[in-house]
Amino acid sequence: MENLYKTTKHILEKGMILVVTMLFILVISFLALSLLNTSLLETKMSGYSKDKVLAFYKAEKNLEHLEQEIIDGKITGIEIDKITSGDGCHATFYRVTASAEYNGAQSELQSTFVKITGTNPCDLKKITPGRQSFLIVH
């Protein structure tokens, strides 16, 4: 009878090693799946950040293009303020807005731009022509 007890105990211990090994493999599998999920999320986040930066650069290029069209006189009627000096010199202020999209990431920029027109020399030398301020809207 004692021999039967030892044999049964020995068989049960072999089965327990199998169960513990299977549980260990299951836990390791869950950890690996969690790591893969985290790395996928980080990859998506870095991709979106890159797209956001590229959308910003694209919007800035569009803003520079619009400012150049104001200098060339191709865009009119969007003045927000005008200062005139006594010698016929004019400083015209413009609010220029440009937006761009790159792979779903959007960027919108706004600048205040000054164009000085009139006779030379001008009394408005304290005002520097070109971009005065820059704002990231979105």
Residues ≥6 apart with Cβ < 8 Å to 117: 89, 90, 92
Asked if residue 95 lies in contact with residue 114, where contact means CB atoms within 8 angstroms, the answer is no
Burial category of 137 from C-beta neighbours within 10 Å (exposed 0-12, middle 13-18, buried 19 and up):
exposed
Q: Distance between CA 55 and CA 36 in Å, rounded?
A: 28
Domain map (residue ranges) of the chain: 2-136
* Tens-binned pLDDT, residue by residue, of the chain (138 aa): 556 555 555 655 667 888 889 999 999 999 999 999 999 989 989 989 999 999 999 999 999 998 888 888 887 767 777 777 666 677 888 888 889 999 988 999 988 888 887 766 666 667 777 888 777 876
Sheet holding 130-136, edge to edge: 79-84, 90-102, 105-117, 130-136
Q: Distance between CA 22 and CA 40 in Å, rounded?
A: 27
State the pLDDT at residue 71.
83
Give the H/E segment covering residue 105: strand 105-117
State the pLDDT at residue 24.
94
Tell me the Cα Rg of the chain.
35
Give me the numbers of helices (H) and strands (E) for the chain, helices first please: 1, 4
Nearest to 96 by CA among 83, 108, 106, 107: 108
